[in-house]
Amino acid sequence: MLEFKKYEATASLTDLGTVAQNKGNKGTVQLIGKNLQNAAKRVAVIITNAKGESATVSCSKAVSDALRAKTLAVGQLMGLHILENEEGVPFISMPAGEGSLIDISGAKQAEYVAPKIENHNELVAW
């Protein structure tokens, strides 16, 4: 039998604002070339504010992969949020939208179409 209780997300992330907000109007953003070229590493970004103070922030795997595949433009990177995990480590993350859950309750149930799964190997990706 299912045990029902209030759902709470397991990860506690703090939103530190976007890359653009953190650099400010006169700041700069640079990508570390070694990390960009090495697919075994996360892309690292140096964010420098107008005072010349800088911080190095790693990108999430999804952001790193998208930058390397050129499906995410460097300009789009500016609008991505920097999140801080429970250990206090900041990272640049892809947007999660209005949360990571898809609500299909009530009237939305009739509108929701689950992805078609051709074989059991696709269940892992779904």
Long-range contacts of 62-66 (CB under 8 A, 24+ apart): 62/93, 62/94, 63/92, 63/93, 63/94, 64/35, 66/94
Taking alpha carbons only, the member of 84, 63, 92 closest to residue 12 is 84
Query: Considering the entire predicted model, what is its pTM?
Result: 0.68
**pLDDT of 10 higher than 70:** no
Strand partners, 82: 92
How much is the mean pLDDT over the chain? Answer: 81
Contact 4, 77 (CB under 8 A): no
Q: Which domains does the chain have, with CATH numbers?
A: 14-93 (2.40.50)
Which secondary-structure segment (H or E) carries 64? Answer: helix 61-69
Q: At 68, is the secondary structure helix, strand, or coil?
A: helix
Q: Is pLDDT at 47 greater than 80 in this prediction?
A: yes
What pLDDT was estimated at residue 43? 96
Condensed to tens digits (0 to 9), the pLDDT of residues 57-79 reads 999 999 999 999 999 988 899 99
Q: Give the CA distances from residue 88 to residues 101, 118, 126, in Å, rounded to whole numbers and listed in that order.
A: 24, 41, 30
